[in-house]
Amino acid sequence: MRNGGTSGSRFDRICSRIAQEDADGILISNLPDIRWACGFTGSNALLLVLDGSRTLITDGRYTLQAAAEVDGADLVIAESELFKELDRYSLGRLCFQSDSMTVEMHSHLRNVLPHSELVPVAQFLTDLRAAKDPFEVDDIRTALRITETVLEDIHAFIHLGMTEGVLAAEIDHRQRKSGAERIAFETIVAFGDHSALPHARPTDRKLANNENILVDTGCVINGYASDITRNYFLGAPPDEYLSVFGVVDAARKSAVDQAQAGLLAKDLDSIARSRIEKAGFGEYFTHSLGHGVGLEVHEHPRIVQSSDTVLPNQAVVSVEPGIYLPGKFGVRIEDLVLLEEDSATPLNRLSTELIVV
């Protein structure tokens, strides 16, 4: 298990949460939560955590894989439906993950445990997973280094007439070639006015002279993701673009400089958003400031202006302000930081400066 042998402490914390619900146990069905708890990376599993026992249930495809990966839990290989393996347990009050279990899965659970009290819990492991241990941070750093190395050199590949899709494919290829196990999410490459869409998908649009290029990408190492956005320009950037770029970068820097554990998520969002609003672009910053990053590229906490969430110590979060001018261009700059008690440690090494090709 790639977590320094910490499965015991993780299960202890899960059991503490079970006790808070006055329950006998929890059935974990969310695969990233299962991986975090016991190391299993397969695509079909349930993890039953009771006071004093932990059992991973999977199917025969994963017999060898589960034996090699699972730490701190017994292993049951189901002959058919995973839920049927639960009928051997006598459970009075059992929590289940209502935010990841489908209606069909819940029906199977109810049929197998007709006399149990099933307690829906949402975001049961959210806070626990948000605080990263040193091994998790190391994996995020390693993934980030791969992505940054690719983005540092990719300007030499950018040329007139290339398509967004070709540039995205090259960025993905270079990350995989550099050791990434996979790409963290569909790489965003957007040229010119297409970059005014915050989550633009790469197309066959061709790059013209005097156009900006927005790149948002990341890769995965040992299950942990990187996430970074940088900007390039083919030709001479106009004053309007440079002005907007400066506002976004100043907002990013203010948020990074003032970020720390214990802040409310909405207050960190406000630090960046107020800079953009004062510059007259408030209506063009159309998304939250950031999000947690880990086994999932978007996880707790969400750094949004409506959230009273207290930012956890040792969480890795993105800081990604943006301004999107319809019909013109968009600018977003994204860094990752590790939240600590009195400050935040930037994980990025790559400069945020605009690269002119």
Residues 166 and 296 in one domain: yes
Give pTM, 2 decimals: 0.94
Q: What is the pLDDT of residue 8?
A: 76
- Do 143 and 125 belong to one domain? no
Tens digit of pLDDT for each residue in 194-206? 999 999 999 999 9
- % of the chain residues with pLDDT over 90: 95
pLDDT at 7 over 80: no
In this prediction, residue 127 carries a pLDDT of: 87
Look at residue 206 and tell me if it is in a domain.
yes
The whole-number pLDDT of residue 71 equals: 93
Output the pLDDT for position 6: 63
Does residue 109 register a pLDDT over 80? yes
Q: Is residue 143 part of a domain?
A: yes
pLDDT tens digits for range 34-73:
999 999 999 999 999 998 899 999 999 999 999 999 999 9
**Tens of pLDDT, residues 281-297:** 999 999 999 999 999 99
Bridge-based pairing of strands 228-234 and 211-217 is: antiparallel
pLDDT, position 2: 54
Residues 212 and 316 in one domain: yes
Element of type H or E holding 166: helix 164-177
Indicate whether 240 pLDDT > 60.
Answer: yes
At 230, the pLDDT band (50, 70, 90 cuts) reads: very high
In a domain, 4, yes or no: no
Q: Domain check: are 87 and 168 in the same one?
A: no
Asked whether residue 114 is assigned to any structural domain, the reply reads yes
**Rounded Cα distance, 322 and 251, in Å:** 9
Is residue 219 one of the residues assigned to a domain? yes
Kindly provide the b/e burial profile for residues 87-108, where b requires at least 16 CB atoms within 10 angstroms of the residue's own CB.
eebebeebbbbeebbeeebbeb
Of the three residues 103, 129, 155, the one that is the final residue of a domain is: 129
Q: Is the per-residue pLDDT at 338 higher than 80?
A: yes
What range does the domain containing 22 cover? 10-129
Q: Are residues 90 and 227 in the same domain?
A: no
The pLDDT, as a whole number, for residue 9 is 86
Tokens 């506002």 belong to residue = 247
Residue 323: phi and psi, rounded to 5, are -130, 130
Euclidean distance between CA atoms 297 and 315, whole angstroms: 13
Distance CA 310, CA 281 (A): 27
Verify that 298 and 156 share a domain, yes or no. Answer: yes
Reading the block at residue 201, the tokens are: 């998908």
The yes-or-no verdict on residue 5 having pLDDT over 70 is no
Average pLDDT over residues 110-130: 94
Q: Residues 263, 115: one domain?
A: no
Question: Which regions of 218-304 does DSSP assign to beta strands (E)?
Answer: 219-221, 224-225, 228-234, 290-292, 299-303
**Is there a domain that residue 231 lies in?**
yes
* Residue 197 shares a structural domain with residue 331: yes
Supply the CATH number for residue 98's domain.
3.40.350.10
Looking at residue 193, its pLDDT comes to 99
Of the three residues 65, 98, 129, the one that is the final residue of a domain is 129
Q: Does residue 196 fall inside a structural domain?
A: yes
Domain final residue pick, 105, 129, 153: 129
Does residue 280 share a domain with residue 205?
Answer: yes
pLDDT of 1 higher than 70: no
Structurally, the chain folds into a number of domains equal to 2
Q: Where would I find the beta strands (DSSP E) of 79-197? A: 93-97, 117-121, 182-183, 188-191
Domain assignment present for residue 174? The answer is yes
* CATH for 156: 3.90.230.10
* Number of neighbouring beta carbons within 10 Å of residue 124: 23
pLDDT in tens, 164-201: 999 999 999 999 999 999 999 999 999 999 999 999 99
